[in-house]
Structure 1
Amino acid sequence: MEKTLTYDFCEMTIHTNYVIVVMKEGVDITPEHNHVLVDVTNQYFKNTPFVYITHRINSYSVNPKIYFETAKIKNLRGFAVVSKDYKAKVNAEIEKMFFSKPFEIFGDLDEAKQWAEALVKQ
């Protein structure tokens, strides 16, 4: 399964065991954006474990409070950040402190996909 959903703040590609999200340039991600994630996961991953992969191609900001709500998604097994940018990786290390489930940072999208597949199968 692969389906792409486009929103004013991001593009989501739904796969069998994970969703890959690319945020748009300059967006300020707030807890309100989390409602879209919850709706998407309820529609495409209902009662099915999955991993959220954010592919940080563009520059944007994230309110760390969003992770408290994101972690409440019962079937969410983990969260991956993919970026080659040093600053984005440092920011992700800070964000990691706000998330209570597995949270990994990768420089390569394929590595994140492999991690997601393994995490879902556990």
Structure 2
Amino acid sequence: MNSNEKHIETFDFGVAELHRDYILMVMNEGITVDFEINRQLCEYAANYYKNRQFGYITHRKNSYSVDPYVYKETSKLKGLVAFAIVSDKHIRRETAILEKIFLNKPLRTFKELNTAIAWVQSHTNSN
């Protein structure tokens, strides 16, 4: 896969864009990211990226909630090297800082998607 290619996967809970070295996820309005949704995402990412390093970017365009305990399982995902949360809403970025407590991977919040992509790519070995 070259750097400009992407694969789009639609789930019941949102849409994932899978790029060479990162996933860009937009969750649906009003959902709760629970263990089942997290399991589906982790399995899909593990199968797609196999032994490659990748980052996860969640673009929080919609309002939804996350069970922070899912991050304990996400932390076990082989190949995941960085986790970025993008939102133009200050309160969503502040809430995301609390989520960092539960994730054993580098996590940062961003206001702009381009900055998040650059940060995630700086953590993968594909550059």
Scaled by the length of structure 2, what TM-score is found?
A: 0.92
For 1:33, give the aligned amino acid. Answer: I
- Supply the AA of the counterpart residue of 1:70: T
Matched, 1:88 2:88: no
Name the structure 1 match of 2:17.
13
Residues 22-65 of structure 1, C-alpha deviations (whole Å, 9 max, x = no match) = 00000011011111112211221000000000000000000000
Following superposition of structure 1 onto structure 2, how do residues 37-76 of structure 1 map, counting pairs within 5 Å?
A: 37-76=41-80
Identity %: 39
Q: TM-score, normalised by structure 1?
A: 0.96
Partner residue, 2:119: 115
Other structure's SS at 2:124 match: helix
Length, aligned pairs only:
122
Deviation at 1:20, TM superposition (A): 0.3
Higher mean alpha-carbon deviation, 28-37 vs 72-81, is at 28-37
CA displacement at 1:88 relative to structure 2: 0.6
Structure 1 runs (4+) greater than 2 angstroms displaced? none
Q: 3-state SS of the aligned residue for 2:25?
A: strand
The residue aligned with 1:102 is 106
Gaps of 5+ in 1: none
- 2:120 alignment partner AA: A
User: d(CA) in 2 for partners of 1:72 and 1:42?
Assistant: 11
Q: CA RMSD in A?
A: 1.1
- How many angstroms apart in 2 are the aligned matches of 1:76 and 1:104? 14
